[in-house]
Amino acid sequence: MHILIIGAAGMIGRKLTERLVADGRLGNSAIERLTLADVVVPPAPQGFGGKVETVAADLSEPATAARLAAARPDVIYHLAAIVSGEAEANFDKGYSINLDGTRFLLEAIRQEGLRQPYKPRLVFTSSIAVFGAPFPEVIPDEFFTTPLTSYGTQKAISELLLADYTRKGFIEGIGIRLPTICIRPGKPNKAASGFFSNILREPLAGHEAILPVSSDVRHWFASPRAAVGFLVHAGTLDLAKVGPRRSLSMPGLSATVGEEIEALRRVAGEKAAGLIRRVPDETIIRIVDGWATNFDPKRALALGFKADTDFDAIIRSHIEDELGGRIGR
């Protein structure tokens, strides 16, 4: 089996690569070939027995997708995107990558299939940003997508294209709407959602973290490990069961900031929890107020996607995966 990951240098892309290399297979198929693409050349994975190519690929160039499709990978993970904040600040760039890039990819696959039958599985990472406030406290699977950002718009459009290209038989598409990833490894960043991870990751490493919102703010989360689990499952599940509605809200964990902190206290102690400093930020409070807090992802659960069980488990998986099993002092 040949797997292509577009956006392989990103956090999720790297973790998916690691998992696929560790498993050596996807479902029942041994992985013989991996193509890892991103705007910067992704790192080559260690310890993979098959053939690996790492390529620099700008999806906003039409020729890029044609080149990637010409190698006829069996499964394509399309994770590449300009993130929300940048897509909002740079309108042209967001549309160029997040909309045109996806369309070039779909069209390249279709053209490849017109030359000689070809119908790969395409796993697309969408986002809960396809939903825009106001919404019900718990968002059902059939709720409409009225995004309030350009990023969310581009993701919602890509979902529609994915469904139509699937319906017409050009691809086997599946879109998965990721919850907010927490605990996001790495440095604190300026994303408005950053604090959800910062308040756990930084104290676990022995550093102070700023909490800009109140403890009762509720949000929708998945650990990096759960997100990779969604991708692997999307790469293997029987797509005939999915039907024509090809994009699914993934099962996440609905939790408040207060519940995050309580879990931190349970897993890492009072000292860690004490490293969180409350500095209310009106801008962030206002932005976060417009975000989804909870979902009822019936379809994804019925199809076998698995959520994190609780924040204690999320914190423990971070300690295992990122901190070598040790909490910082």
Binds a second copy (CB under 8 A): choice among 91, 214, 241, 302: 91
* Cα 162 to Cα 62, 126, 170, 178, distances in angstroms: 18, 11, 10, 16
* Cα 6 to Cα 77, 78, 135, 152, 203, distances in angstroms: 6, 5, 32, 19, 33
Residue with tokens 């050009």: 170
* Cα 213 to Cα 163, 180, 219, distances in angstroms: 37, 16, 12
3-state SS, one letter per residue, for 258-315:
HHHHHHHHHHHCHHHHCCEEECCCHHHHHHHHCCCCCEECHHHHHCCCCCCCCHHHHH
Nearest of 20, 66, 90 to residue 231 by alpha carbon: 20
Active site residue 77: no
- Rounded to a whole number of angstroms, the minimum distance from the CB of residue 243 to a second copy is 10
123 binds a second copy (CB under 8 A): no
- For β-strands 253-256 and 218-222, DSSP reports them as antiparallel
- Rounded to a whole number of angstroms, the minimum distance from the CB of residue 148 to a second copy is 6
Binds a second copy (CB under 8 A): choice among 156, 199, 264, 288: 156
163 binds a second copy (CB under 8 A): yes
Q: Which of the stretches 35-43, 141-149, 223-231, 297-305 binds a second copy when contact is defined by CB under 8 A? A: 141-149
Binds a second copy (CB under 8 A): choice among 17, 64, 125, 153: 153
Specify the residue, 110 or 306, whose C-beta has the smaller distance to a second copy. Answer: 110
Integer-rounded Cα Rg, in Å, for the chain is 20
- Rounded to a whole number of angstroms, the minimum distance from the CB of residue 156 to a second copy is 5
Q: Which of the stretches 34-42, 155-163, 189-197, 205-213 binds a second copy when contact is defined by CB under 8 A? A: 155-163
161 binds a second copy (CB under 8 A): yes
- Rounded to a whole number of angstroms, the minimum distance from the CB of residue 117 to a second copy is 17
3-class state of residue 63 by DSSP: helix
Specify the residue, 96 or 125, whose C-beta has the smaller distance to a second copy. Answer: 96
Residues 233-272 that bind a second copy (CB under 8 A): 244-245
The answer to whether residues 11 and 186 touch, using CB atoms and an 8 Å cutoff, is yes
Binds a second copy (CB under 8 A): choice among 32, 61, 164, 259: 164
Number of residues interacting with a second copy: please give it, by CB under 8 A: 21
48 binds a second copy (CB under 8 A): no
- Rounded to a whole number of angstroms, the minimum distance from the CB of residue 103 to a second copy is 9
Element (H, E) at 66: helix 62-70
* Cα 290 to Cα 95, 131, 137, 293, distances in angstroms: 23, 10, 12, 9
Catalytic residue among 77, 95, 118, 151: 151
Binding interface with a second copy (CB under 8 A):
91, 132, 142-148, 150, 153, 156-157, 160-161, 163-164, 167-168, 244-245
Q: Which residues participate in catalysis according to the annotation?
A: 151
